[in-house]
Amino acid sequence: MAKIRQGIMGPFSGKIGPIIGSSWKNISYIKSAPVDNGQPRAFTPAKLANQQRFKLMNDFLDPFQPFITIGFANLASNKTELNAAFMVNFREAMELVDWAYQIRYDKLCLSKGNLPGLEAIVVQRMASAKLLINWDPTIVFAAANDQVMLVVYCPDLKMADGFVGFAQRSSGSVRFKMPIKMQHHAVELYLSMVSLNSKKISNSQYLGRMEP
């Protein structure tokens, strides 16, 4: 049974014959009800490949959720931050290699916005699994108290770590001690800038891979 909440011409929820009405994030949808003929569904190779591609990106983005929630907050209108990040990275951060899709770490986007990023960034991997990051603290079209968001990702462990706000744009440098688990593994590094009130965000910057 379906319910019409805003009159006969309004959206409805529930099932009427072969169609289903529903809503999500205040958006109304109508879709066909699934047909069950008792037979297992057959998928074409292209359909299976696309499903695998979706699963690869979904699983990959999962460890980044705390950072994506900040980095895509301004693009999450009528969708979640994770969905917004998925749409961008599904298009731009995947490539087909030897008939299998892989993640392009250099194309990965963890934040998207108009806030200026940092210039002249230099990263060093020091003893005791510490990272030293230096940049030009010159302030142009930005605020001195913009916050640094650093994301450290270990492909071997499928683990992400980092911080938001340990350093400001005007600081010029920051040190970060990686988790012990990452100490003997290569890591991929990403940096974004976030305004103090979190209203503005920069595009994430890929800082490269650091070997152990």
Q: 133 and 121 in contact (C-beta within 8 Å)?
A: yes
Bridge partners (DSSP) listed for residue 164: 149
Q: Look at 7 and 146; give whichever has higher pLDDT.
A: 146
CATH no., domain 45-210: 2.60.40.10
CA 191 – CA 121 distance, rounded (Å):
10
DSSP 43: -
Which residue is it, tokens 């009427």? 16
Taking residue 186's Cβ as centre, other Cβ atoms within 10 Å add up to 14
pTM across the whole model: 0.80
In DSSP notation, 9-27 reads: TS-EEEEETTEEEEEETTE
Q: Reply yes or no on whether the pLDDT at 87 is more than 50.
A: yes
Which of 32-41, 49-58, 80-89, 98-107 ranks highest by mean pLDDT? 80-89
Q: Which residues contact 184 (CB under 8 A, 6 or more apart)?
A: 212
Q: Which residue type occupies 191?
A: L
**Arithmetic mean of pLDDT, 4-11:** 54
Return the domain boundaries, the chain.
45-210
Binned at pLDDT 50, 70 and 90, residue 8 comes out as very low
Which tokens belong to 114?
């108009």
Return phi, psi of residue 101, to 5°: -80, 140
Strand order in the sheet with 119-126: 119-126, 130-136, 173-177
145-169 CB burial, b ≥16 within 10 A, e <16: ebbbbbbbbbeeeeebbbebeebbb
